[in-house]
Amino acid sequence: MGPRSDHCVLETELVFPPLNTRQRWLTRGRGLAASGLLPEVLRRRAGAAGGGRAGWGAGSRRPSGWATEQVTCSKPLQPQLCLPPLAWSLHAAAHRRSHSLGGPDRCGQALLQIGVNMMALPGGRHLDSIPLPGQRLHLMQVDSVQRWMEDLKLMTECECMCVLQAKPISLEEDAQCDLILAGGSGPGDPLQLLLKRGWVISTELRRIGQKLAQDRWARVHSMSVRLTCHARSMVSEYSAVSRSSSQEMGQIEKLLMEKCSELSAVTERCLQVENEHILKSMKACVSETLSTLGQHFGQLLELALTREVQALVRKIDASDNIYTTESTTGNLFSLTQEGAPLCRIIAKEGGVVALFKVCRQDSFRCLYPQALRTLASICCVEEGVHQLEKVDGVLCLADILTDDSHSEATRAEAAAVVAQVTSPHLPFTQHLSSFLESMEEIVTALVKLCQEASSGEVFLLASAALANITFFDTMACEMLLQLKAIRVLLEACSDKQRVDTPYTRDQIVTILANMSVLEQCASDIIQENGVQLIMGLLSEKPRSGTPAEVAACERVQQKAAVTLARLSRDPDVAREAVRLSCMSRLIELCRSPSKRNSSDAVLVACLAALRRLAGVCPEGLQDSDFQQLVQPRLVDSFLLCSNMEESFV
């Protein structure tokens, strides 16, 4: 019997690799399932009906040895009926029976055969044979979609292959705007649920704002509907896993969903309006609704995250089990990596207090590094530093740093906390009155840690703490001078195991630059051959070319020039610098923008150092260099060098 008139031919090439390569394709296909993109790909696959040939472009050559099937469906394909291969076969068989087609149906047999072939599993297992008609009757008693859902893990790879070869991926930006969660949250894991849903909703809000600015109303409406679905899913899923819901959260949830519905409704009305003046006024309404929705979402997310952080802090505070404390502290550290807002919540809810309680118990000594690492992350916000001072955290850090019974890893993490709370980039760290009381002990311990460091990471953390302390108080420079820190730092520069990156050299030259304001520093620099090291730092070059490393090299060059300028007050240092050809290197950095990565900060520092050296040893300069780089005003020399064009002849 021929096909009915309402039949459609789905012109999709279902391409299957040979058996010897199928397993490799199945393994590669898992990526879509793991990333959560499979449902979206299936949705687009359903929209491919009647779309013509796809999967292999015009003129492209299909790999040899691959089979191709043209599937004839018994009814027009509907978008909501997007079934997996096995479900297709069952659906076809059911439809054939419903129309009382006599004899074997080629379409049903073909689909059934496809369903069986695509059931190849990663372990090399295959269905033994095609089900007989009697067996098929039993299979059809189970809803095909339900059966597909049960077998989803086994069918995923096949679906990926089928879908990707059925329709080409669009290059248009809108085709990539659908956000699907990459796997669901585990049962009883409300934190991960909140973070995943929160990220998706935040991204959707931003994208809706972008499409609204472009007046793409169709996209604005479709994304508003999807935003409503995400918000409803977050509310319902969190309610299912959370312990209880407060009245305040319930009110905000209600306001959020009302605004979501309002946004969907008003954007739908905008689709029907063609008058530009009316659309302009409605655009302002949509923008206001979107802004209010974002505020409600932020409030709800903050309340929910606060509840979860409170639970974690209480768990750490009350636990005397090392494994429970380790797990909970790890969860808290993961939260700190989500940004400053979560660090503020943790600090406000007593996270700093609970972590220092862990660091004061000998039974938890093995957890000190993890707890201190979490504290360093929390102290990037003002609330964290204030909480640290309230619980005498500086004294605890000093005790850890000066206690040699602690492991090097523990002392390194304590140094990281010190570096964080003394950072010159954070204005609120300058008011740590308790730090001055323990500064001498801390500085002494940090110098010792630099001297004994067994790795570059430990040396970096300790030297970073020392560098920040030299900004924190000028007394620290005098302490470092008395502790012979210059010798320790310069010796470390020749040890590639400890000093192997521009980031570490950045910390060393920062300490030298801040110490060079002291007059007695010059003699120590000359005694330890420090001028030669500074000369080498002026030639710092990035290895990888990454922006962060290039910026670090610029800072090294700039601070090396500043150090040289300060030390050149001493004639002995100036003469040693001239002897080592420092003036030639400074002139090269001034005249060649590529040598300093076109950095204006490096240029200013080099001009200042060159003028200081020229004042002591003018005979080391040529007339042209003197007239252009030394004799004019500093700003004129800067403008001259910054506008220079390099010659490649």
| Token pair recorded at residue 597 | 């990565």
pLDDT at 454 over 50: yes
Asked if 438 and 401 touch (Cβ cutoff 8 Å), the reply is: no
Residue 177: per-residue pLDDT: 46
Residue 78: per-residue pLDDT: 37
What's the pLDDT band for 126 if we cut at 50, 70, 90? very low
pLDDT at 312 over 50: yes
Residue 431: per-residue pLDDT: 64
Q: Which residue has the higher pLDDT, 10 or 341?
A: 341
Tokens 């690492």 belong to 373
Tens digit of each residue's pLDDT (9 = 90 or more) over 175-230: 444 554 444 444 457 888 888 888 899 999 999 999 989 888 889 999 999 999 99
Kindly give, in sequence order, each residue whose CB lies less than 8 Å from that of residue 107, ignoring residues fewer than 6 positions away. Answer: 3, 71, 72, 73, 74, 92, 96
Lowest-pLDDT choice from 267-271, 281-285, 319-323, 645-649: 645-649
Q: Which residue has the higher pLDDT, 174 or 429?
A: 429
Tens digit of each residue's pLDDT (9 = 90 or more) over 226-273: 999 999 988 888 888 876 677 888 899 999 999 999 999 998 888 888
Residue 28: per-residue pLDDT: 36
| Token pair recorded at residue 339 | 């940004």
Which pTM value belongs to this model?
Answer: 0.68
Q: What is the mean pLDDT of residues 476-499?
A: 92
What's the pLDDT band for 372 if we cut at 50, 70, 90? very high
Q: What is the mean pLDDT of residues 423-432?
A: 76
Q: Which DSSP state fits 80?
A: T
Residue 188: per-residue pLDDT: 54
Residue 634: per-residue pLDDT: 85
Q: How far apart are CA 512 and CA 467, in angstroms?
A: 9
Q: Which DSSP state fits 493?
A: H
Q: How far apart are CA 230 and CA 264, in angstroms?
A: 13
Asked if 297 and 256 touch (Cβ cutoff 8 Å), the reply is: yes
Asked if 352 and 378 touch (Cβ cutoff 8 Å), the reply is: yes
Q: Which residue has the higher pLDDT, 390 or 43?
A: 390
Q: How far apart are CA 392 and CA 461, in angstroms?
A: 22
Q: Strand pairing partners for 10?
A: 71
Q: Over the chain, what is the mean pLDDT?
A: 75
Tens digit of each residue's pLDDT (9 = 90 or more) over 575-612: 889 888 888 899 999 988 888 888 899 999 999 999 98
pLDDT at 21 over 50: no
Kindly give, in sequence order, each residue whose CB lies less than 8 Å from that of residue 429, ignoring residues fewer than 6 positions away. Answer: 385, 421, 422, 423, 472
